[in-house]
Chains A and B, each alone.
Chain A
Amino acid sequence: MAVYVDAGTSVIVQGITGRQGSYHTKLMLEYGTRIVAGVTPGKGGMEVHGVPVYDCVEEALERHEANASIIFVPAAYAAQAALEAIDAGIKLVVIITEHIPVRDTMTIIAHAKRKGATIIGPNTPGVITPQECKLGIMPGRVFKRGVVGVISRSGTLTYEIASALTRAGLGQSTCIGIGGDPVVGLNFVEVLEEFLEDEETKAVALIGEIGGNLEEEAARYIASTGYPKPVVAFVAGRTAPPGRRMGHAGAIIMGRAGTAQSKIEAFREAGVAVAEKPSDVARILTERLKGSHESI
């Protein structure tokens, strides 16, 4: 088992003829992801790495079965692409694009909710269930199938922690980048709920950063539900000054809100172990998982 994506996921790539879309289509195909079609308005009839291209999602779905879409469309058009996928009945939409206006993202998410679709992103590296499906731009070889569910707001920091989990022999069940924007389709709590139901996931690594209050919300959820699987958190940005945007649109301390300290304290109060260093995540999880086996 896994969450969000698995060997049964079949994918449409929106923006497949662009530089990023084409490049990552190739890498996803090499990884083994089932990509059935691509969409770029006006480019219908082409092929990209052997994948047929259509003018619209509806047309692609007339010819192929697909249950997920990944979007590489430039920011000014990405919202339209997402709405098109949702309208066509796609239930999982991963938006890689960065710099989409927040107002557009809010509209996409509201529409997705109405249609029962899940949005991952925007500004996300995507989602990967190792050895089954990579729906994103992450380097595949960093990941190995295992027991830790990973949820993160960042890209490369996730690869850093995932590769440590791989080296420690723990591996990952599914690894989800929720995205670095202020408003994203999935929050930590929703992914924690998925991991709760997933038997393969024995523990969770939660990688947060400054800005917003999704981490605090996750801490409240973990404490109030007595979340049964061990969770280890890492929060980036302890040294970030207030009022400055640290790379990600969402990584900014506004007034008193969104500091690393507030998030770390919330996790500690909720009984969640907080890693001081990225490498501590794998170390603490190894101890926790050994501990839980012994107690069984």
Chain B
Amino acid sequence: MRLLECEAKEILSKYGIPTPTGRVVESPEQAKEAAGEVGCPVVLKAQVPVAGRGKAGGVLFAETPEEAEDAARKLLSTELGGLRVRRVLVEQKIQIKRELYIGVTVDRLARTYVAIASTEGGVDIEEVALRSPELVHKLQVNPILGFQPHHARILAKRLGYRGQQMLSLAGLISRHYRVAEDCDAVLSEINPLVETVDGQFIAVDAHIIVDDSALYRHPELRSEAEGWGLTERELEARKAGLAYVELDGDVGVIGNGAGLVMATLDMVKLHGGRPANFLDVGGGAQMERVAKALEIVNSNPRVKVVLINILGGITRCDEVARGIVEAQRRSPSSKPMVVRLMGTMEDEGRRILAEEGIEAMESMEEAARRAVELAFGGA
């Protein structure tokens, strides 16, 4: 779950990390008022959970409350990354001396958190790491020992600070690490962390992604932006507990197992077709779940043909077949269907489908080819 900037900053503040004075507004009038309150000049930032917001025009500056009103009007009438801007953060503009980066993320290879710091703040850290890796300082953190004060001092030193300022930065780096750990973040970044002209450190932009698997133990962490940018069908699938991702093609795909479904999409593309979605019914899916999956895919007007690829292990082919029949009974669809069944209770599954005039194929690659032919209007 990706938090909005304003939500991430609220958490940072609770941990004693300074952020610019600011207010979240939902209208140009509120923006004008907020600008007067926090004091001009101000910066107005669209609150959308998408990367590269600045480049896309989601950040504007204003010298007066009137300018802030205009800027907010502009932001609130735009779309960023396909998302309508509903909230704008109005913040005091900070006098920048230097822009730093600090972050915590999961190092998948080392299987630890890694704390990152760089003097190259304000830009895409991945780009910096590619261009000049020597400017990106990383420390792997042993999960049992945790992040120790000396780790923070090492990073602060590497960024070139000394004395009181080094200690103050190290303290901030430690507190930020605690934020990441306490929130079960898979990524937490302050970028830029600004060193002001008077030597203070302020988190000017922040970005936190919480581990979805850990949300059960964080009832306090909820994002306004949850579900933004998802289609109606994606929201419906999420409610039904189905892993569904919509794409822009016309071959609807349903399968069991993430890897198998991804490979099925790839086969559709390999045969010259375009997948309309990814849908994994998961292991051991029962009739009802399969029926729901098929209903969701069928309800996408772009879908011309549905390809169902089941390799039964814990999943039983007869349950899948019953689900397909049930979906057809509930909301009959004239879209052609190509079904591949293999594995547990395969014969029974085939029999059930045959009764409804649906033929089940054996090879997933043949099934994908057939689905693509049908999408192109072949017989």
Contact with B along A109-149 (1 / 0, CB 8 A): 11100100000000001000000000001110010000000
Say yes or no for A107: interface residue by CB 8 A criterion. Answer: yes
Task: Give Cα A152–Cα B263 distance, bound, in whole angstroms.
Answer: 13
Query: Separation in Å of the A82 CB from the closest CB of chain B?
Result: 13
A210 touches B216 (CB 8 A): no
Q: A159-B311, A276-B270 are in contact. Are A102 and B184 (CB under 8 A)?
A: yes
Say yes or no for A256: interface residue by CB 8 A criterion. Answer: yes
B144 touches A111 (CB 8 A): yes
Say yes or no for A168: interface residue by CB 8 A criterion. Answer: no
Query: Separation in Å of the A126 CB from the closest CB of chain B?
Result: 11
Nearest CB to that of B282 among chain A residues?
Answer: A247
A156 touches B256 (CB 8 A): yes
B269 touches A157 (CB 8 A): no
Say yes or no for B313: interface residue by CB 8 A criterion. Answer: yes
Q: A103-B143, A103-B184 are in contact. Are A157 and B111 (CB under 8 A)?
A: no
Say yes or no for B14: interface residue by CB 8 A criterion. Answer: no
Q: A139-B312, A183-B111 are in contact. Are A99 and B263 (CB under 8 A)?
A: no
Say yes or no for B113: interface residue by CB 8 A criterion. Answer: yes
Task: Give Cα A250–Cα B266 distance, bound, in whole angstroms.
Answer: 18
Task: Give Cα A75–Cα B365 distance, bound, in whole angstroms.
Answer: 35
Q: A139-B344, A247-B258 are in contact. Are A239 and B144 (CB under 8 A)?
A: no
Say yes or no for B343: interface residue by CB 8 A criterion. Answer: yes
A277 touches B213 (CB 8 A): no
Task: Give Cα A242–Cα B255 distance, bound, in whole angstroms.
Answer: 21
Task: Give Cα A238–Cα B247 distance, bound, in whole angstroms.
Answer: 13
Task: Give Cα A213–Cα B259 distance, bound, in whole angstroms.
Answer: 16
B245 touches A246 (CB 8 A): yes
Instruction: For B283, list chain A residues within 8 Å (CB).
Output: 137, 155
Task: Give Cα A103–Cα B212 distance, bound, in whole angstroms.
Answer: 12
In chain A, positions 242-256 with a C-beta closer than 8 Å to chain B are: 244-251, 254-256
Q: A101-B213, A154-B259, A183-B106 are in contact. Are A244 and B245 (CB under 8 A)?
A: yes
Instruction: For B108, list chain A residues within 8 Å (CB).
Output: 182-183, 212-214, 250
Q: A103-B211, A110-B142, A183-B111 are in contact. Are A156 and B257 (CB under 8 A)?
A: yes
Instruction: For B111, list chain A residues within 8 Å (CB).
Output: 105-106, 109-110, 183-185
Instruction: For B265, list chain A residues within 8 Å (CB).
Output: 237-240
Instruction: For B275, list chain A residues within 8 Å (CB).
Output: 239
Query: Separation in Å of the A71 CB from the closest CB of chain B?
Result: 15
Task: Give Cα A245–Cα B213 distance, bound, in whole angstroms.
Answer: 13
Instruction: For B144, list chain A residues within 8 Å (CB).
Output: 107, 110-111, 114
Q: Is the interface of B mostly helix, strand, loop or mixed?
A: mixed
Instruction: For A209, list chain B residues within 8 Å (CB).
Output: 258-259, 262
Instruction: For A256, list chain B residues within 8 Å (CB).
Output: 126
Nearest CB to that of A242 among chain B residues?
Answer: B51
B343 touches A157 (CB 8 A): no
B143 touches A213 (CB 8 A): no
Instruction: For A237, list chain B residues within 8 Å (CB).
Output: 262, 265-266
Say yes or no for A100: interface residue by CB 8 A criterion. Answer: yes
B311 touches A187 (CB 8 A): no
Task: Give Cα A107–Cα B214 distance, bound, in whole angstroms.
Answer: 14
Instruction: For A249, list chain B residues within 8 Å (CB).
Output: 212-213
Instruction: For B270, list chain A residues within 8 Å (CB).
Output: 276-277
Nearest CB to that of B126 among chain A residues?
Answer: A255
B262 touches A236 (CB 8 A): yes
Nearest CB to that of B244 among chain A residues?
Answer: A247
Say yes or no for B27: interface residue by CB 8 A criterion. Answer: no
Query: Separation in Å of the B215 CB from the closest CB of chain A?
Result: 9
B211 touches A246 (CB 8 A): no
Instruction: For B312, list chain A residues within 8 Å (CB).
Output: 139
B245 touches A110 (CB 8 A): no
Contact with A along B14-41 (1 / 0, CB 8 A): 0000000000000000000000000000
Query: Separation in Å of the B241 CB from the closest CB of chain A?
Result: 11
Within 8 Å by CB of A210, from B187, B262, B267, lies: B262
Say yes or no for B186: interface residue by CB 8 A criterion. Answer: yes
Instruction: For B113, list chain A residues within 8 Å (CB).
Output: 103, 106
Task: Give Cα A289–Cα B216 distance, bound, in whole angstroms.
Answer: 49
Say yes or no for B278: interface residue by CB 8 A criterion. Answer: yes
B262 touches A76 (CB 8 A): no
B217 touches A76 (CB 8 A): yes
Say yes or no for A160: interface residue by CB 8 A criterion. Answer: yes
Say yes or no for A180: interface residue by CB 8 A criterion. Answer: yes
Instruction: For A213, list chain B residues within 8 Å (CB).
Output: 108-109
Within 8 Å by CB of B243, from A102, A183, A247, A255, lies: A247
Instruction: For A184, list chain B residues within 8 Å (CB).
Output: 111
A160 touches B109 (CB 8 A): no
Instruction: For B184, list chain A residues within 8 Å (CB).
Output: 101-103
List 8 A–B pairs whose Cβ atoms lie within 8 Å, in order of A's numbering: A99-B212, A102-B186, A157-B260, A160-B260, A182-B106, A246-B278, A251-B258, A276-B270
Q: List the 10 closest A-B pairs by CB distance, nearest first.
A: A154-B259, A247-B258, A156-B257, A157-B259, A101-B214, A236-B262, A139-B313, A156-B260, A247-B280, A212-B108
Mark B residues whose CB is within 8 Å of A. 51, 106, 108-109, 111-113, 124, 126, 142-144, 181, 184, 186-187, 211-214, 216-217, 243, 245, 247, 255-263, 265-270, 275, 278, 280, 283, 311-314, 342-344, 363-365
Since A239-B268, A246-B243, A251-B262 are in contact, a sample of 16 more A-B pairs with Cβ atoms closer than 8 Å, ordered by chain A residue number, is A76-B217, A99-B213, A101-B211, A103-B211, A106-B106, A110-B143, A139-B314, A154-B260, A155-B257, A156-B257, A236-B263, A238-B269, A241-B247, A247-B278, A251-B259, A254-B187
